[in-house]
Structure 1
Amino acid sequence: MPALHAAPVNRHYLDKVMAVAEIMAVEVIVDILDVRGLKLVAKGTRVTRALQEKLILHKLRQPFESCVRVSGGVDQRAIAGIAGRLVETSPSLAHILRASGKGSAAVLAQLARLEFGDALRMMLTVADRNGAHALEHAVLVSLLSVCMAQKLGLGEQDQMVAGLAGMLHDIGELYVAPAFLARGKRLLPHEWSHIVVHPRIGQMLIDELGGYPAAVGRAVAEHHERFDGSGYPRQIGGGQISAPGQAVAVAEVIAGLLLTDHPLERAELALKIIPGEYSHELLSAISGALRMATPDAAADPVRAQGGEGVEHLFWRIAAILDVGEGLMVGVAAKSPGMLELLHKTMERVRTIRRAFISTGLDVYVRPESDLGAGTDQMLLFEREVAGREIQWRLRDIARDLALQTSAPDEQVLLAPLVRMLDDDLPGAARAKPLAPAPAAWSGSVLAGGSMRHGGA
């Protein structure tokens, strides 16, 4: 990836800066020169829309990001205020803070010590103005990252790295076309190519502009990696992922669930659904927080939406395996690269099928099952969450499969499999066998008790 000063100004980020400049004072702090040394904008100039076209047409001698400063933007005081409010209003967050052994006062004090230069303050301000709750999410991930780092037994320096990386984990998204980040938009598998680069963009920005240890940028680059190698952008796993990177990855998942009903239960289900995705030490932090939840919180009514589609999901997984294994002995068998890709893909699908069984969803597939109306609401809740998480994992595989096939003939060959993985399409799994699910699929977690008591 080229250095910032060797490429034109990113038009998406520039447009967001211009939007901020319409409501806040954004000033040029050094002369902006093109690569030939020609002055484009003088130091002290107020940034306005009139500069946008001039800047977008030129490569700059130094990054645009290091040439501007915002007055009255996001600073440590604003971050500390948001962090304090989150701790006061989220009992679940408070439970996690206590379970990590750090305590809210210590974590808040650590966040108050985070420092950001002009370039990153500008980015945090842009994020704050660009999307509802974007800065709140960043602060929440930062808080949780420090907790997870503490749970891993990391020292103060690595905890600070995790906190900084948590705060900055999504700044790469500021450089992505807004159409691909629109709230509620469902991306097609091939469209994920616009999104999967944002961790690497974030790392590049931090390394060139932040003045931080390289570990901060690395942890940002790893925040969507998974311990079992199923994440992105590099699909690394285990010890290849830094400890702060692991902490931010788990924190980011938890943060996305803390504003829902029964967030700790949802988080534990989401993190344990596929064994090996996350380290055991980090999973224990969530389990500890759940055990520390007050009786009143645990007694809150569960509003499960039922388990519609679970049976269809089961047969869709079976159909995906049939199609994939058919491809492996068909045309794809002539290509070693294609065969290896399909082998890895099918192994991931088989892992998901095992998760379907181990979480107890299979009990709803068997004809003799009598788990319908009147079923315990927590079981229905767990069925809903587990089913949704499995569907997300199938979509992850669709994304990876689409992004790893570039040759047109390979894309055509794999298109039906990608579609089946991506969505619960009508007709995607019509060939439902007449035989019931094997009797050996008994003894699953939901059939014999609540999944939240299962192992990691």
Structure 2
Amino acid sequence: MTDTLESAGPDAADSPHYLRALTDMADRRTVVAGAAIYNDMGVKLVEKGARIDSRLYDRLVQHKLREPIDRHLSIDNPVDVPALVAAASALAEQDALCALLADALGSTGRLLAPLRSLALPPSMACKLTVMREQRPQLFQHSLQMMAVAIYLGIKSGLGERDCSALAAAALLHDLGVLYMDPVWDDPGHKVVGPQRKHLAAHPISAMLMIRDMQAYPPSVAVAVLEHHERMDGSGYPRGLSGADITPLGRILLLAEVVAAFYEKYEDMPAQRLSLVLRLNHRKFPSALVSHILPLLREEVARDSALLPLGSDASQQIDLLAEAFAYWDQLKAALPGGQGGAAGPAAPRGTPTGAFAFADARLMALQKALIEAGSHPRHQGELIAQLQGDVLGMAEVGLVGREALWQLQSILNASHRRWPRLADRATPEDAALADWCEWVARKL
């Protein structure tokens, strides 16, 4: 890995948020130091055999520890392989997505078989125990993502050994979130601009922890690093594309999206997911998507009749049209800019850097909307034709919501990659900053 990646992740051993979660958990279950805990200067902070609890937090957080605190801890009722199998089996009985995957493979046993050979060293077991006790939603997300990843691995023809490595990568992919401020779990906490660099760092943090443990094949750490990449290069942290993303990384990036949709949406998750996968076919590996879409078809047909959507489609169309038109206006005003409506087929102008990045993303979004028959210039007539068609209007509404989400994604990515964009150092930066501020106000 590059020096940039090495420096981007926080020092896991000293994370105050993880220390707080661990010591708070120790107030409710027995956690004992299996070896003495030292700081990096060799000063003993905790005796071997001492009970860990929240009273130690203030002392521990003031020091840089010689090694991660969870390397030699003994925990009552930890997350181990049998506990993982039991938790995943229970989830397959209660969770619609996991049940769907197990049914598709013929049994829950086949879905969870790769867990039998899963490596789980003490420090990783400790982190997962903290996750289960202190961040239960994150733990459930990891289990769901693990189930999707194993399903995709099996359908792709991977052997049990590779599927076991894949299960480890999926299960541990969000370890970095344990080292972030829990405020990120608050739905009301809106993160914008440069703050998003902390979110972008969590795959790097998890990769470094997994790699340093040396308990897994190198492909596991790499896949964890790649779980937010996209096939078209629009992901993070490295903006990889296509063949530059490893096979396990491709599985994780799709599994992340599949699990996230079933967690986020109680209403019509299958239809929403199916639409996003089809509308964004350049972002996701088509061979893997082909294993997911057939699972969704029956649910799409059933759920679409239950919850009509699309009543706000006209407002969504108007907002999209305004966003595209404002971008064309800003682009035309630049030195060497293209006059008139840009549109996906228009020739590229001369701007470079941040503006060129956003321009390419907006052109790709418009092209995808045209291919889906859902570009704002087409949708007015389409809505008039669909009156009374519940399924059709539901899809129009979902397309609009996805397109607006992608506008927000372009805004976020622009600020993440160019944190000094608001300085407006060049005409192009000023134009992009103006567009981002407009989008932020409208959304």
**TM-score interval, normalised by the smaller of the two chains:** 0.7 to 0.9
Cα 1:202–1:424, aligned 2, differ >3 Å: closer, same or farther? same
Verify: 1:404 aligned to 2:385, yes or no: no
1:340 to 353, 372, 377: 353
Contact preservation (8 Å) 2:231, 2:283 = yes
Q: Write out per-residue CA displacement over residues 326-381 of structure 1, whole angstroms, 9 at most, x where no aligned residue.
A: 44648xxxxxx972332222011111111222223336866555538843121222
Report the 3-state secondary structure (helix = DSSP H, G, I; strand = E; otherwise coil) of the residue aligned with 1:133. helix
Match of residue 448 from structure 1: none
- Of 392, 409, 428, the residue aligned with 1:379 is 392
Unpaired stretches in structure 1, ≥5 consecutive residues: 331-336, 429-456
**Is 2:313 the counterpart of 1:312?**
no
C-alpha separation between the residues in 2 aligned to 1:7 and 1:147? Answer: 31
The aligned counterpart of 1:12 is: 17
- Please list, as runs of the form range in 1=range in 2, the aligned pairs for 1:137-216 lying within 5 A after superposition: 137-209=141-213, 211-216=215-220
Cα distance between partner residues in 1 of 2:442 and 2:208: 44
**Where does residue 43 of structure 1 map in the other structure?**
48
1:431-454 Cα deviation digits (max 9, x unpaired): xxxxxxxxxxxxxxxxxxxxxxxx
Aligned residue number for residue 322 of structure 1: 329
* Cα pair distance change 1:422/1:164, threshold 3 Å: farther
Q: Check 1:66–1:342 CA distance in 2 against 1; reply closer, same or farther (3 A cut).
A: same
Contact 1:169/1:223, CA 8 A, preserved across alignment: yes
SS in structure 2 of the partner of residue 192 of structure 1? helix
Cα distance change, pair 93–53 in 1 and its aligned pair in 2 (3 A): closer
Match of 2:93 among 88, 100, 106: 88
1:228-279 CA-partner distances (Å, limit 9, x unpaired): 1110011111111111111111111111122533322222212222231111
Distance 1:389 1:323, change over 3 A: same
The answer as to 2:300 corresponding to 1:287 is: no
CA contact (8 A) 1:310 1:365 kept: no
Q: Does 1:392 align with 2:402?
A: no
Q: For 1:4 and 1:92, locate their aligned partners in 2 and report how far apart those are by CA, in whole Å.
A: 32
Long gaps (5+) in structure 2: 1-5, 338-349
Equivalent residue, structure 2, for 1:126: 130
Distance 2:11 2:258 in 1: 37
Query: What SS does the corresponding residue of 1:27 show, helix, strand or coil?
Result: strand
- Structure with greater helix share of residues: 2
Provide closer, same or farther for how the CA distance between residues 396 and 32 of structure 1 changes in structure 2, counting only shifts above 3 A: same
CA distance in 1, matches of 2:306, 2:160: 39
1:443 matched to which residue of 2?
Answer: none
**3-state SS in 1 of match to 2:233:** coil
> Would the aligned equivalents of 1:26 and 1:71 in 2 still touch at CA under 8 Å?
yes
Q: TM-score, normalised by structure 2?
A: 0.85
Distance 1:37 1:92, change over 3 A: closer
**Equivalent position to 2:245, from 222, 232, 241:** 241
Q: Matches of 2:191 and 2:38 in 1, distance apart?
A: 38
Question: Number of aligned pairs?
Answer: 420
Code of the aligned partner of 1:354: K
The Cα RMSD (Å) is 3.1
> C-alpha separation between the residues in 1 aligned to 2:9 and 2:189?
29
- The CA deviation at 1:219 is 1.0
How do 1:374-453 residues align onto structure 2 when only pairs under 5 Å count? 374-407=387-420, 410-411=423-424, 414=429, 417-418=432-433, 420-421=435-436, 424-425=439-440
